[in-house]
Structure 1
Amino acid sequence: MAEKPPKPKPPLPSKPRPAAGIPTSTPGPGSRLAAPPLKKPTLAPPPQVLPLKPPPAHQYRQQQQQPGGARKPRGYRQQQQQAHRRGGGCSCRRACCLATGLALLALCLALAAACLAYLYYRPRAPSFHLRPLAPVRLRLGGNSSSAVPAMDATVGARLVSWNPNERVAFRYGDGEGRVALAGDGDGDGDVALGWAPVRGFAHAPRSVAAVAFVATARGVVLDDAVAARVRDRYRRRQQRFRVVVDAHVGVRVGALRTGMVPLRLLCDDGVMAAGSPDGTAAGPMSKCQVLLFRVRWFSLN
C-alpha cells in the first residue's frame, strides 16, 4: 500500500507586535508595574451637513431690492404693513373727526346768523285776497231734452297781495291760473272753466300788488243736474268759484337774492261780482291760502 502523506502542521499564532515607543521587555517579579500602554485617540466622524434650502423667489427679490443687500428679519414686512395700517386708520379717524367738527361749527354759525337775521328783519308772509270775479259770462245751451247741455264761460280773476315787511321784498315768476265752478259737498265736483298764463311781477316792501288773468272755456259738457244747478245759481248771483295760481317766488333782502321756489295760491270762496256804475267789481274779498312747496306758508309772529 502506498504511504499516506503527512498532515500539515497548523500555523502557530503570531504574537502582536509592540507599538512604537512601548518597551517590549516584560517586568520581572521584583520590578515595579509599568504604565499601561497609551491608546491611540480615535477621531469622531464629521457631522453631516444638510444642503441649504434656497429662499423663496419673493424673499430673494426683497433682499435684492433692499439697499446694501441687508437681509431683514423674518416677518419684517408684515410688521411694516401692520404699522402702516394702524397709522392710516388713525389719520382717517382724525380727518373724519375734523370734518365733522367743522361741519357742526358751520351749522352752528349758520343757525346763529339765521336767528340774528330773523330778529333784525322780522320777515312775514304776504297775504293774498281774491276780488269778486267780474265780468262773468255763462251761456248754457241744449234746453231740449235731446241735446246735451254745454256751457261757454269767460271769467276774469284778480288777486290782491299785501307785503307787510319793511326790509324784505318778493319777486314772482311767470305761472298759470285756473278757474273752476265750485261744486257741492254732496258729491258734485268742480267744473273746470279753463286756464290762462300769469305774468310775473316784483313786490316791494310795504306795498300792494295785483295778479289778474282771464280764463275762457268753450263747449264744456255738463250733466243735466249740474247744468240746472249752475243755471239757478247764476241767475241768483250765488255761484261760487275756485281759483288756483301756480308760480314761483323769490326773496330779495337788500342786494341779496334767493332762488325761486314753487308757490301755489289757493282761493276756494270766490264769489260773483255785482255790477257797479263805474264798471268795477263790487263785493267782499275772500282770503287765499299761500302754499310754499305745496305746504301752507305760515308766519311765526
Structure 2
Amino acid sequence: MAEKPPLPPKPKPPLPPRPRPPPKAPATAARPAPAPANGAARPAPPFKKPALAPPLPTQVPPLKPPPARQYLHHQHPPPPGGARKAPARYRQQQRRRGGGGGCSCRRACCLAAGFALLALCLALAAACLAYLYYRPRPPSFHLQPLAPVRLRLGGNASAAPALEATVGARAVSWNPNERVAFRYGAGEGRVALADADGDVALGWAPVAGFEHAPRSVAAVAFVAAARGVVVDEAVAARVRDRYRRRQQAFRVEVDTHVGVRVGALRTGMVPVRLVCGGGVMAPRGAGTAAGPLSRCQVYLFRVRWFSLN
C-alpha cells in the first residue's frame, strides 16, 4: 500500500490586539501623600478619567459637476421660434442683453440735443451780430384826420334809430432804417365810433399791400361803409350832437402781415395789427392834412411792438 500524503499544517489563530498602554501622567502630577505616622489606613487614590480618543476626521463629499443639460442650455440657448417656451432665467438674460439698445438711444438723443443747442447758440450769435450791424428800428404809424365822414340817423318813434355811415381813414408810416425795408401784405381795415357806452362798429374794407423802402414815408388808406346799424336813442343823440360840432371820435384797426427785407434776403410774413384810437374828424372844406395826428400802436403776434433804442 502507498503511503498517505502528510496533512497540511493547521493555520495559527490570529493574535489578539495588544491593549494600548495607559497614557503617562505628566511630570507635574501630584505625588501620593505619605502614609500617616499613626498607622491609619491609606486613603484611596483619586479616580482618573480615561483619556478620550481623538475625533475621527470628517470626510467632505466631493462637489458634483453641473448637469450636462444645464451646461448646454447656457452655451447654446434655444431658438426664439422653438416649440418649447424659454425658461424665466433665459428671458431675464435676454432683457439684460437687450439693455444696450437703451444706452445707444440715449447717446443718440444726447448728441441730437447737443447739436440743436449748438445750432441755437450760433443762430443767436448771428442775430446779435446782425442787430449790431444793421441797428433795425420799427416804423412809426400816425392816423390823419378822417375824411370824408358822412353820418345819417334815420328811424321813427316806433323803431330804434338806424345809422348809415361812410368813413375814410388814412394812416401814414415812417421807416427810420437805412438798410432795412418792410413788406406789407393785403389785409382789412375796420372803423368804429368811440362812445362812453361802448364802441359802435361801422364796417370794414380791404387794404392793399405795399412795400415800405428805407428812409421813406408810406400810407395805408381805405373807406369803410355801413348801413342799418341799430343804436340806442341816447347814443344816437350823442352822435348827432358830436357830428354837428365835428367832434366825433373814431377808432381804426388794420389787420395785415409784415415781412423784412435786407438787401436780397427776405423773411417770412407774420401777422401784425395796427390800432389807432382817438381819431378825429377833419374840418369842413379841409383835406386830411388839416388837423392833429393821433399815434397808432403796432401789435406783432398780438404783442405790442417796442423798440430797443
Could you say whether these structures have the same fold, taking a TM-score greater than 0.5 normalized by the shorter chain as the test? yes
1:82 deviates by 3.4
1:293 is aligned to 2:306 = no
Q: Deviations over 1:212-250 (max 9, x none)?
A: 100001121121101100000011111000001111111
Residue 82 of structure 1: aligned partner: 96
1:132 deviates by 0.4
Structure 1 counterpart of 2:307, which letter? S
1:145 deviates by 2.9
Partner Cα distance (1:157, 1:204) in 2: 22
From 249, 263, 275, the equivalent of 1:254 is: 263
Residues 276 and 282 in structure 1, CA contact (< 8 A), matched pair in contact too: no
Residues 148 and 168 in structure 2, CA contact (< 8 A), matched pair in contact too: yes
Residue 111 of structure 2: aligned partner: 98
| CA separation of 1:297 and 1:63: change in aligned 2, threshold 3 A | closer
1:35 deviates by 8.2
Residue 112 of structure 1: aligned partner: 125
Name the count of aligned residue pairs: 243
Partner Cα distance (1:183, 1:63) in 2: 86
- Structure 1: tracts of 5 or more residues without a match: 1-22, 28-32, 37-52, 66-74
**The residue matched to 2:116 in structure 1 has which SS?**
helix
From 247, 264, 272, the equivalent of 1:238 is: 247
**The residue matched to 2:177 in structure 1 has which SS?**
coil
Partner Cα distance (2:152, 2:182) in 1: 39
Residues 266 and 288 in structure 1, CA contact (< 8 A), matched pair in contact too: yes
Q: Deviations over 1:126-169 (max 9, x none)?
A: 11111100011111123x53343112110000010111111111
Superposition RMSD in Å: 3.0
Residue 133 of structure 1: aligned partner: 146
Partner Cα distance (1:172, 1:79) in 2: 65
Partner Cα distance (1:151, 1:209) in 2: 32
TM-score w.r.t. structure 1 length? Answer: 0.72
Q: Deviations over 1:21-80 (max 9, x none)?
A: xx95355xxxxx5588xxxxxxxxxxxxxxxx9959x95994798xxxxxxxxx899767
Matches within 5 A, 1:256-271: 256-271=265-280
1:154 is aligned to 2:160 = no
Residues 130 and 270 in structure 1, CA contact (< 8 A), matched pair in contact too: yes
Partner Cα distance (2:129, 2:73) in 1: 67
Residues 190 and 203 in structure 2, CA contact (< 8 A), matched pair in contact too: yes
- The alignment-based identity, stated in percent, is 76
Residues 157 and 213 in structure 1, CA contact (< 8 A), matched pair in contact too: yes
Partner Cα distance (1:244, 1:160) in 2: 13
| CA separation of 1:239 and 1:76: change in aligned 2, threshold 3 A | closer
**The residue matched to 1:145 in structure 2 has which SS?**
coil
1:108 deviates by 1.2
Residue 40 of structure 2: aligned partner: none
**The residue matched to 2:298 in structure 1 has which SS?**
strand
Residues 177 and 245 in structure 1, CA contact (< 8 A), matched pair in contact too: yes
| CA separation of 1:219 and 1:59: change in aligned 2, threshold 3 A | same
Partner Cα distance (1:24, 1:207) in 2: 155
| CA separation of 1:138 and 1:204: change in aligned 2, threshold 3 A | same
| CA separation of 1:130 and 1:54: change in aligned 2, threshold 3 A | same
Residues 275 and 282 in structure 1, CA contact (< 8 A), matched pair in contact too: no
Matches within 5 A, 1:174-189: 174-184=186-196, 188-189=197-198
Partner Cα distance (1:246, 1:115) in 2: 30
Structure 1 counterpart of 2:293, which letter? M
| CA separation of 1:219 and 1:83: change in aligned 2, threshold 3 A | closer
1:217 is aligned to 2:226 = yes
Partner Cα distance (1:131, 1:195) in 2: 18
1:203 deviates by 0.7
Residue 50 of structure 1: aligned partner: none
| CA separation of 1:55 and 1:159: change in aligned 2, threshold 3 A | same
Structure 2 counterpart of 1:105, which letter? L
Deviates more, 1:230-239 or 1:147-156: 147-156
